[in-house]
Amino acid sequence: MNEYLFLFRGGDGSTLKKSSEAWQAHMQKWMIWMSDLAEKKLLLGAQPLSTDGKQLTGNKKIITDGPFMEGKEMVGGYLICKAFSYDDALEIAKGCPILEFDDGKVEVRQIQELKI
């Protein structure tokens, strides 16, 4: 089995947050999706990310505030899972609740083995 990283973008839940019931229902979908992956022993880890951060650039290691991009392009969280192939990983990603939003995106990347 290979490992895959899912990067979550978009899916602004600010309208859902106006209703605690709608927000809780949406978060419950995330919990069900991830619990199902954990039950199948495919989930390796997942966390949301804060909206602020710092960025280091170049050999002078210049530190700036960041990220500087449109909200829909900012990575809001990640998940690492196991799958037999990209096709299997994409099938898993199709169940992600972020895709209920018109601008919700899941970027799927295979994690390569580092050979030292």
Most trustworthy range by pLDDT among 48-52, 73-77, 86-90: 86-90
Residue 97 has pLDDT above 80, yes or no: yes
The pTM of this model reads 0.85
Residue with tokens 């602004």: 12
Residue 37 has pLDDT above 70, yes or no: yes
- The CATH class of 2-111 is alpha beta
Distance CA 111, CA 4 (A): 5
CA angle 73, 75, 79 (to 5 degrees): 140
Q: What is the mean pLDDT of the chain?
A: 89
Report pLDDT digits (tens) over 54-63: 888 899 988 9
Q: Where are the domains of the chain?
A: 2-111
